[in-house]
Amino acid sequence: MNRVDQLIKSYKHFIQLPWPANLAPPQRVWAAVYSPAEERRLRLNLPEFEHRTIEAGYRWERIDISTEFEQWMAAHEYREAYFESPELMEPELASFFDDLTAKVRGLVEQHTGPDVVIGLVGGSSLFGLGPHVKMSALVEAVEDANEGRLLMFFPGDVEGNNFRLLGAQDGWNYHATVISADN
């Protein structure tokens, strides 16, 4: 059994546990942690997470942010100048992130409910875009909009409460419930 299959098995057991109703928003965030090398295999198996969620009696919604930066860049009037001099884009990244946050929050609010798992995929696409564009900030900005559970697919490492996207040196201290191939 490969690591993604083990992660799905862990998720299957985890999703069947009772959901306490009185949790704070950060406690309603789950992190499906996997190796960045397994990204394509995980994406191929995303329907399994949906199937396991529905099988356990919950609803499933998926939000994929993988191409949001590319779409933003393609629509930007100064994109050619940014390709020639990427440092010019730095001030605009905060605007991109604000737009992304508003879009994801709107989607979460549209699909929320006490029996919904919202799978957030594609966080690795934000890696390296600068100090204003972070997966951690996105999750923290939308976590309170969801009544059910937010399942953040996280390609990286977790040690204690320290999450490192793509194994980066700097981490983010967070209290999401970790689901991994090992638990």
pLDDT in the model for residue 166: 66
Q: How many CA atoms lie within 13 A of 134 on its CB side?
A: 13
Contact 66, 135 (CB under 8 A): no
Q: Report the range out of 1-10, 44-53, 134-143 with the highest average pLDDT.
A: 44-53
Q: 157-166, pLDDT tens digit by residue?
A: 887 767 666 6
pTM for the model stands at: 0.89
Cite the beta strand spans of the chain per DSSP E.
29-34, 59-64, 116-121, 149-159, 162-165, 172-173, 177-179
Partners of 122 in the β-ladder: none
Query: What is the per-residue pLDDT for 43?
Result: 95
User: What local confidence, expressed as pLDDT, does residue 74 receive?
Assistant: 87
pLDDT in tens, 79-136: 787 778 878 778 788 889 999 999 999 999 999 899 999 999 998 888 877 777 888 8
Radius of gyration, alpha carbons of the chain: 17
Q: Confidence class of residue 171 from pLDDT cuts 50, 70 and 90?
A: low
Q: What is the pLDDT of residues 38-84, one digit of tens each?
A: 999 999 999 999 999 999 999 999 999 999 998 988 888 877 877 78
3-13+29-179: CATH topology? Rossmann fold (3.40.50)
Categorize the per-residue pLDDT at 144 as very low, low, confident or very high, splitting at 50, 70 and 90.
Answer: very high
Question: Which of the two residues, 85 and 2, has the higher pLDDT score?
Answer: 2
SS3 label, residue 14:
helix
